[in-house]
């Protein structure tokens, strides 16, 4: 459920609407060490232009060669299965480490209606399963949950897609600009709320979309879900705590606030006095970020995004756990 897959599908939709033939490749199985995990996608246009990735590059080269040497006939079956790296020699040829093997579906995209519908559902922050019939090429879209994973057998592929991960920044100061830039490089949708007009100057729209209103209103208006992170960075408790009171009772997978250990503890005490439950307060990350000895805004932004990505990917924060136990 990588949002990079949505970029692949956006290109598929654009190319098919322009009348160009498109072949869509999906990694469905891997053995040993493989460059990309199941679910990775690549789209190949009739003129050899491609987007996405299924390996480190050598497999992509062979897929383009398949197109040009006629191994993808226009009247062939709607879906084929291709396996790379069956032998150690072939694994070496295609750049697959440690004798890895990967299996791909090679799918001709006909009517792109399902692509448009899938993208629309993801834009509506739904998680979607795409069921591909290997024999007929028929695609059916189904509701899915965040715990669903890709499944494949020789008859069907069920792949999971979801909306982009989002990061809501409370505050538009210097640190927020560094965080926004790094978050965008990591393919997060960046949202910014700051009612202080003085801090909004010179923010470029491509760095983040501004959400109007006060911080608590912003948290509610974006319909916070399990793919949303919220970080309060104003260093002004009147604004930060306003956002946290709402964010900590939301479904956001990460809620953090800038501040030292002393200030973070004081914030927890204040939130308790304001009526927030101990269970909600326990979700607060503060101080934010992994300990990397950061001293300037860029380094703080790096430590913060490292922590957010780790939690997004289900990695236990052992470093922070050991620090808390020793405190």
Q: What is the pLDDT of residue 322?
A: 44
Q: What are the distances in angstroms from CA 227 to CA 118, 205, 260, 301?
A: 17, 22, 26, 19
- Above 70 in pLDDT, residue 319? no
Closest Cα to residue 169, out of 127, 130, 140, 211? 211
Alpha helices (H) along the chain: 3-17, 58-68, 88-93, 113-123, 174-185, 215-221, 237-247, 261-273, 278-281, 297-312, 318-326
- Above 70 in pLDDT, residue 159? yes
- Above 80 in pLDDT, residue 204? no
CATH 3.40.50.720 domain locations along the chain: 166-313
Name which residue leads in pLDDT, 73 or 136. Answer: 136
Q: What is the pLDDT of residue 101?
A: 81
Among 151-155, 199-203, 283-287, 316-320, the range scoring the smallest mean pLDDT is 316-320
Stretch 123-135: mean pLDDT = 93
pLDDT band at 287 (very low <50, low <70, confident <90, very high): very high
Q: What is the pLDDT of residue 72?
A: 85
pLDDT band at 123 (very low <50, low <70, confident <90, very high): confident
Q: What is the pLDDT of residue 5?
A: 83
Residue written as tokens 């709607």?
78
pLDDT band at 321 (very low <50, low <70, confident <90, very high): very low
pLDDT digits (tens, 9 = 90+) for 20-71: 999 999 999 887 766 678 899 999 999 999 999 988 677 888 899 988 888 8
- Superfamily per CATH, domain 166-313: NAD(P)-binding Rossmann-like Domain (3.40.50.720)
| Mean per-residue pLDDT over the chain, rounded | 89
Q: What is the pLDDT of residue 86?
A: 63
Distance of CA 240 to the CA centre of its chain: 26
Name which residue leads in pLDDT, 6 or 299. Answer: 299
Name which residue leads in pLDDT, 87 or 172. Answer: 172
pLDDT digits (tens, 9 = 90+) for 67-98: 888 888 878 889 999 988 766 666 666 666 55
- Above 60 in pLDDT, residue 327? no
The interaxial angle of helices 237-247 and 261-273, nearest 10 deg, is 60
Among 23-37, 39-53, 132-146, 267-281, the range scoring the smallest mean pLDDT is 23-37
């Amino acid at each position: 459920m990588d949002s990079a897959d949505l970029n692949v599908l956006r290109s598929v939709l654009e190319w098919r609407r322009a009348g160009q033939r498109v072949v869509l490749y999906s990694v469905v199985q891997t053995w040993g060490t493989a460059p990309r995990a199941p679910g990775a996608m690549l789209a190949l246009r009739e003129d050899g232009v491609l987007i996405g990735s299924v390996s480190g590059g050598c497999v992509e080269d062979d897929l383009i060669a398949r197109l040009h040497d006629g191994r993808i006939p226009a009247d062939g079956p709607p879906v084929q299965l291709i396996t790379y790296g069956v032998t150690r020699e072939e694994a070496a040829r295609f750049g697959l480490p440690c004798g890895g093997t990967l299996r791909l579906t090679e799918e001709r995209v006909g009517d792109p209606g399902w692509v448009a519908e899938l993208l629309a559902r993801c834009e509506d922050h739904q998680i979607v399963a795409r069921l591909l019939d290997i024999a007929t090429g028929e695609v059916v879209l189904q509701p899915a949950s965040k715990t669903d994973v890709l499944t494949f057998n020789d008859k069907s592929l069920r792949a999971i897609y979801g909306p982009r991960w989002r990061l809501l920044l409370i505050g538009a100061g210097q640190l927020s600009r560094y965080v926004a830039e790094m978050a965008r490089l990591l393919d997060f949708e960046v949202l910014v709320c700051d009612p202080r007009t003085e801090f909004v100057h010179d923010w470029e729209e491509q760095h983040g979309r501004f959400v109007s209103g006060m911080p608590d209103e912003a948290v509610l208006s974006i319909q916070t879900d399990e793919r949303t992170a919220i970080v309060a960075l104003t260093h002004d408790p009147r604004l930060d705590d306003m956002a946290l009171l709402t964010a900590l009772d939301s479904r956001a997978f990460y809620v953090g606030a800038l501040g030292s250990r002393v200030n973070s503890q004081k914030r927890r005490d204040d939130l308790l006095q304001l009526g927030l439950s101990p269970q909600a307060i326990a979700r607060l990350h503060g101080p934010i970020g992994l300990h990397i000895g950061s001293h300037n805004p860029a380094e703080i932004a790096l430590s913060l995004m490292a922590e957010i990505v780790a939690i997004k990917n289900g990695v236990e924060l052992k470093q922070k756990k050991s620090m808390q136990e020793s405190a």
